[in-house]
Structure 1
Amino acid sequence: MASPEPELAVYTCRSCGECRLASAAPACCDEPMDEIDDTVPVESPTESHLMRAVFDISETELEVCRHLMAEDELTVDELTGLVDRDRSVVTRHLNHLVELGMVEKHSRVLSNGGRVNVYSHRSAAAVRRQFKLGLYTWLTDAVDVVDDLSEDKIERLVGGTDEGGRGPVIVDGDE
């Protein structure tokens, strides 16, 4: 039996205020950092939001996954009928899911000759590992983006102007 993964927590440095995510108290400014409970109030992600934000998985792709989880394997044509989408759309979504490591693609020989691609789900443990790896990679990149915010960029975000100082910053979903 595998040992449980250590819990991640947010730590802060008493001296410089730096924050880190870790499974044990890291050091900063030559002293151990303190675990903090009072984090920034953010909305906890839903499954759909997380899949969209981190992995760019659409609702249709989640629907494709659900159908694949219910069956051993399906062809593009079978999935097209189940999700009521165009064949090219289903193929594009399947290729994305294969690329993410959620779905496996195999070739099957047909009884009347020829071949057809079939798709099957990976094990829940394999998909969970793939998601964690992707999420950790995304989180590392996101922290780099935050670290790269200059004082000028932050002032523009808070002040609500674009980079040229010309008007409101348009955020996805704002109209």
Structure 2
Amino acid sequence: MSNDVTTFECSHCGNLGIGDGEIRCCEETMEVIEDDPISSTPTLSELLKSVLDMSETELELCLCVMEGGSVTVATLAEQTEYDRSLINRHLNHLASIGVVKKQRRLLDSGGEVYIYTPVSPETVRVQLRREFHQWTAMATAQLNALQREKVESIADPDDGEPTWEVFYSE
């Protein structure tokens, strides 16, 4: 798969597409949208925060797991300035989004401990890509709803006067 991803727009219906090759809509090839000089490339941190709801602390802990191999909460508490409960909460979130694996191990002395191991970078890329596409679909739906609410409030205001309060409430 090529790393050169382009944004496309249909000249007939306005649909947008993202891809690394020709995209068709309305039975015609979509047009390439030229790069906007105002747009900036998101950092990895910004992307992970927006798409996977990953905090800076979680990114740091994820990198520790990737560098350290199999680690426990206690090991990470020794390596970082974070307390065990915070690390545990963040590692559980990282496991739930699929960027680390969580495995229970029984101790010879009794009890148990959870071991966190990294997943392959390709697995993380695939997961991030999947989540990004789902996030994009949901964000697009929100934008479409906002546009629809705006048009409806202009066209048919309750008191005869346009109102914009709809945009400030859930």
Query: Which interval holds the TM-score relative to the shorter structure?
Result: 0.7 to 0.9
- Are 1:72 and 2:74 an aligned pair? no
Matched AA of 1:129: V
State the 1:40 CA deviation.
7.4
Percent identity over the alignment is 34
Shift in alpha-carbon separation, 1:112–1:19, aligned structure 2, 3 A: closer
How many angstroms apart in 1 are the aligned matches of 2:121 and 2:73? 22
Match of 1:47 among 37, 44, 49: 44
Residue 27 of structure 2 is aligned to residue 25 of structure 1: no
Partner of 2:165: 163
Q: What is the rounded CA distance, in whole Å, between the counterparts of 1:88 and 1:139 in structure 2?
A: 32
**Any runs of at least 4 consecutive aligned residues in structure 1 with deviations exceeding 4 A, and if so which?**
none
- 1:63 aligned to 2:71? no
Return 116-125 or 141-150, whichever deviates more. 141-150
Q: Tell me the equivalent position of 2:139.
A: 142
Mind listing any 5+ residue stretches in structure 1 that lack a counterpart? 170-175
Q: What's the CA shift string for 1:66-95, capped at 9, x where partnerless?
A: 211222211111212222222211111011
Q: Measure how far apart 1:5 and its partner are.
A: 4.3
In structure 2, relative to structure 1, the CA distance for the partners of 1:23 and 1:151 (3 Å cut) is: same
Query: Compared with structure 1, are the counterparts of its residues 15 and 110 closer, same or farther at alpha carbon in structure 2 (3 Å cutoff)?
Result: closer
Q: Which residue of 126, 135, 159 corresponds with 2:123?
A: 126
Q: How far off is 1:164 after superposition?
A: 5.5
Q: Select 1:108's aligned residue among 87, 101, 105.
A: 105
Task: Give deviations 1:13-45, integer Å, cap 9, x for gaps.
Answer: 233443322343333344322222244732211
8 Å Cα contact 1:25-1:35 kept in structure 2? no
Aligned residues: 160
Partner of residue 7, structure 2: 10
Question: Separation in 2 of the partners of 1:149 and 1:90?
Answer: 38
For residues 20 and 132 of structure 1, the distance between their equivalents in structure 2, rounded to whole angstroms, comes to: 15
So what's the TM-score if we normalise by structure 2?
A: 0.78
**Structure with the bigger percentage of helix:** 2
- More displaced stretch, 81-90 vs 21-30: 21-30
Q: How far has the Cα of 1:152 moved from its partner? A: 5.1
CA-to-aligned-CA distance 1:122-170 (integer Å, 9 cap, x gap): 111111111111111111211222222226538x9xxxx96258xxx6x
Q: Any unmatched runs of 5+ in structure 2?
A: 154-162
Assess if the C-alpha contact under 8 Å between 1:103 and 1:121 holds in 2.
yes
Contact 1:77 1:87 in 2 (8 A): yes
The answer to whether residue 34 in structure 2 is matched with residue 34 in structure 1 is no
Q: Which structure's relative contact order is higher, taking Cα pairs within 8 Å and 6+ residues apart?
A: 2
SS in 2 for 1:42: coil
Q: CA deviation at 1:105?
A: 0.8
